[in-house]
Amino acid sequence: MNPKYEAAFKPFTFRSGVEIKNRITMAPMTNTAAHENGEVSDEEVAYYQERAGGVGAVITACTYVTRNGKGFPGEFGADSDSLIPSLKRVATAIQEKGSKAILQIFHGGRMCPPEELLDGQPIAPSAVAAERDDAVVPREMTADEIDEIIKAFGEATRRAIEAGYDGVEIHGANTYLIQQFFSPHSNRRTDKWGGTLEKRMSFPLAVVDAVKKAVSDHAAKPFIIGYRLSPEERENPGITMEDTLQLVDKLADQDLDYLHISVGGFWKGSIRDDNDQTSRVVMIQERVGNRVPVMGVGMLRTADEVMKAFETGVPLIALGRELIMEPQWVQKVQAGEEDKIRTTLSKKDQKELAISDKIWEYYTSIPGWLPIV
C-alpha cells in the first residue's frame, strides 16, 4: 500500500467500545431487492456479502420500523419479531467477511408511496404534501401514533440486537419522517412536537432516547448508535444550516457513536444559498470538534479523493456508489492497485459485482446516478 493512504486504514474505536478495522464504511443505499413480506432475498444477501470484507463496517439500506413507514418497493422490514431471522441473514453475511454490520432504521412518513402502504395513506407530522410531482397530502399523526412510532424505533433496535448486528443507524435524513418532524415545512404542529425550533427537535431526540434505552436494556456487548442527517432543505420554510447546527449541538450531547452527514457530495455547499459554497460536512465537523465523530460521504471515488476528505479532520468516510461499482475498493488500495479501481459501471461486470437484475434495473433507472458505460 502507498504510505500516503495508511491513515485511512488505521482501526477506529467508537465511544460504545466497538472497534472497526479501518475508517472506511459502506454507505446505506436502497436496492429494492427484498420480498414483499419484508424478508431479504438471496440476491440482496449476496450483494452485501460481495461488498463486505474490505470496509470497516457496512451500513444497510433503510429498513422500516412500522409497516406504515415502508418507503420503497422491495424494502426489507424490521417491524416484527418474525423478521429477525431475515435481519440476521444480512448481519451474518457481512460479519462472515470481516466487517461490522449496522442496520439503518427508518420511517418514510409523507414520502411513503401510497401503493406500498396497507391502507394507502401516508402519515406525517402535519397534513402538508411534499413539494414534488404527484405528492399526496399525508394524514397528520395523532399524539398516540407519535408515541407508538418512537417506541417502534426502540423495538427495531432490539430486533437488530437479537439478529446479531453491531449497531444501528437512525435515519434522520433525506426528507423522511424524522427529518419531517425537524422541518418547518412538514411540521406545522402547535403541540409539544412543533411550533418552535426546540420543539421540532423533540421527535428526533425522543427517537435517540428510545434507541439508547433499547441498547441499555437488551445489548450484552458494545453496540453502535449512529444518526444520519441532511443539513438543509430547498423548501421555504425549510431546514437551514443554522437550524442543523443547533440540532447537531443537541445530538453531540447524546453519547452517539457518530453523525453521518447525507449530502450529494462531500464538498457540496449550500442548496439554499448559491453564494455559500462551504462544504456542509466540513462545517459540521468544525462545529462538533471532538464531541462526536463525523462520517462524511458523497462522490468520493479515488483513494486520493478520500484522503483529501480525511485531511479536513473528519475521522470516518462512507463510500456509496463507488462500492456498487467497485466492491474491492479497500482491498485494491491496500494492495497498491488503486489504478485498477472501477469508477464506472458496465453491464458486462454485473454478475461479477453480485448485482441482480432487479438491483441493476433499479440503480440504472435513476438518471445520472451512476456513470454507466
Coil, strand, or helix at residue 292? coil
Task: Kindly report the number of other CB atoms within 10 A of residue 216's CB atom.
Answer: 9
C-alpha cell at 361: 434495473
Q: Which amino acid is at 214?
A: A
Task: Kindly report the number of other CB atoms within 10 A of residue 291's CB atom.
Answer: 15
Give the orientation angle of helix 143-162 with respect to helix 84-96, to 10 degrees. 50
Is 78 in contact with 168 (CB distance < 8 Å)? no
Known catalytic membership, residue 48: no
Q: Could you give the CA distance from residue 55 to residue 43 in angstroms, rounded to a whole number?
A: 20
In terms of Cβ atoms closer than 10 Å to its own Cβ (0-12, 13-18, 19+), residue 11 is: exposed
C-alpha cell at 331: 482491498
Coil, strand, or helix at residue 61? strand
Q: Length of the chain in residues, anyone?
A: 373
H runs (alpha helix) in the chain: 42-51, 84-96, 143-162, 177-182, 197-200, 202-218, 241-252, 280-288, 303-310, 321-325, 329-334, 357-364
Q: What is the DSSP string of 10-50?
A: S-EE-TTS-EESSSEEEPP-----S-TTSPPPHHHHHHHHH
3-class secondary structure for 214-261? HHHHHCCCCCEEEEEECCCCCCCCCCCHHHHHHHHHHHHCCCCCEEEE
Categorise residue 296: left if φ over 0, alpha if ψ from -120 to 50, beta otherwise.
Answer: beta
| Catalytic position from the list 64, 165, 176, 363 | 176
* Residue corresponding to grid cell 462531500: 266
Q: Could you give the CA distance from residue 68 to residue 141 in angstroms, rounded to a whole number?
A: 12
Active-site residue numbers? 176
